[in-house]
Amino acid sequence: MTRLESIILTTAHGFLAEILLHYMMVKDRIISPEDQSEEDLRDFYIAKGGFMALVALARNSDSGMSADAVNAILVLERQEIAATPATDD
C-alpha cells in the first residue's frame, strides 16, 4: 500500500469513527434526533460526505488504488452499512 493509500485509509477510519459515534449516540438515546445541534449535524454530514467520497474513489476503477487499499475501504463501507440505523419508512 502506498503512503497516499495509507493516508486515505486512515482518513476513512476517522470519518467512520465519527459516523459510528453519532449512530451510537442516537441509538442509545444519548441524543435525540430533535436535540442535535446544528454543529453536531454539520460534523456528522462532513464525516458522512468525506467517507462516501473516499468510498467512491475506491470504487472508481481508474483511481489507481491498489486492490489491498480498495478492499480495506470496502470493508469499512460494509461496517458503516451494518451500523446504519433502520429508517421508519
Convert the pLDDT of each residue in 33-55 to its tens digit: 777 888 888 999 999 999 999 99
Q: Which residues contact residue 11 at a Cβ distance below 8 angstroms, ignoring those fewer than 6 apart? A: 50, 54
Say how many domains are in the chain.
1
Residue 76 forms part of a structural domain: yes
Q: pLDDT above 70 covers what percent of the chain?
A: 94
Alpha-carbon distance of 35 to 26, in angstroms, equals 10
Residue 43 forms part of a structural domain: yes
The neighbour count for residue 33, using CB atoms within 10 Å, is 8
Alpha-carbon distance of 86 to 70, in angstroms, equals 26
**Per-residue model confidence (pLDDT) at position 35:** 77
Per the prediction, the chain carries an average pLDDT of 91
pTM: 0.88
* Residue 32 structural domain: 3-83
Residue 89 forms part of a structural domain: no
Alpha-carbon distance of 81 to 15, in angstroms, equals 14
Q: What value does the mean pLDDT take over residues 10-20?
A: 97
Helices assigned H by DSSP within the chain? 3-27, 38-59, 67-83
**Per-residue model confidence (pLDDT) at position 87:** 62
Residue 49 forms part of a structural domain: yes
